[in-house]
Amino acid sequence: MARLTAPIYEVFCSVQGEGPLLGVCQVFIRFRGCDLTCRYCDTPAARAVCGPCHVQQVPGSEEFTRCDNPLSVEALRGLVEELVTTRGETCHSISLTGGEPLLYPDFVAALSERLHQAGHKVYLETAGHLAQALNAVINNIDWVAMDFKLPSTMVEPVPAVVFGEFLQVAQQTNCFVKIVLTDSVTTKELLEACRIITQVDRDTLVVLQPVTPVGDCRPPDSATLLQWQQLCSELLDDVRIIPQCHRILQVK
């Protein structure tokens, strides 16, 4: 039977802080739970499946209330609509983020369909390793923002071919690939990722995102970044260096 509830960490309105849609206004639904182990994880609290859902009261404010998990599709859509209504016509889309939204494919499929029926666009932010789950939801997804996680950035690495399989499915809609770069990344693993992306579609937009410092993770120096962009651009048609902008903007 379809699972039509899911644990949610928070619901809030802010601006997209990464990638090609940087700066557009979105309502974010952050799912609880994650099966990966990124060294640079900046949302460790959302990895816990248990706990309440934090709901922002006014777009952009620090005022949050709590509600019990798990939430139904309709309950969650109601929370989204309250923020969208307060924000007005300028809300660009609804971002499904995490944690990992694709741990709940039945729920994401139903939620995305409902959001579309209500006239919203849906933007899925995912770690990029659950191709079968993506295939089950993609009919109602307008953008897929997928990660390609390099082995050195993970405690338990995911085989690179897994991200290639995911990208193949993501081709059905608008998609781009984000690669987070730390000063531990090697040129070899980065170019291996680019080769796999090229085998799917060399036109894929690839965002090289220097890590926002967290724990022991530090970004590469700027000379290395520029060199990597040049090397990646020999394999791919559209490679851009775009850092996270949440902290600069001082928003969530």
- Positions that interact with ligand SF4 (CB under 6 A): 34, 36-38, 41, 43, 46-47, 98-100, 127
- Measured from the CB of residue 97, what is the shortest distance to ligand SF4 in angstroms? 9
- Measured from the CB of residue 40, what is the shortest distance to ligand SF4 in angstroms? 7
CB of 13 or CB of 146, closer to ligand SF4: 146
Written as one string, the DSSP assignment of 222-242 is HHHHHHHHHHHHTT-SEEEE-
CB of 77 or CB of 149, closer to ligand SF4: 149
- Measured from the CB of residue 44, what is the shortest distance to ligand SF4 in angstroms? 7
Q: How far apart are CA 137 and CA 132, in angstroms?
A: 9
- Measured from the CB of residue 46, what is the shortest distance to ligand SF4 in angstroms? 6
Residue 206 CB contacts under 8 Å (≥ 6 apart), including other chains: 148, 176, 177, 178, 179, 194, 197, 232, 236, 238, 239, 240
- Measured from the CB of residue 17, what is the shortest distance to ligand SF4 in angstroms? 14
Q: How far apart are CA 225 and CA 236, in angstroms?
A: 16
- Measured from the CB of residue 81, what is the shortest distance to ligand SF4 in angstroms? 26
CB of 8 or CB of 36, closer to ligand SF4: 36
Q: How far apart are CA 97 and CA 145, in angstroms?
A: 10
CB of 82 or CB of 100, closer to ligand SF4: 100
Q: How far apart are CA 179 and CA 146, in angstroms?
A: 9
CB of 53 or CB of 84, closer to ligand SF4: 53
Q: How far apart are CA 191 and CA 184, in angstroms?
A: 14
- Angle formed by the axes of helices 105-117 and 73-87, nearest 10°: 40
Q: Rounding to the nearest 10 degrees, give the CA dihedral for residues 40, 46, 49, 52.
A: 160
CB of 17 or CB of 99, closer to ligand SF4: 99
- Measured from the CB of residue 241, what is the shortest distance to ligand SF4 in angstroms? 19
Q: How far apart are CA 130 and CA 106, in angstroms?
A: 13
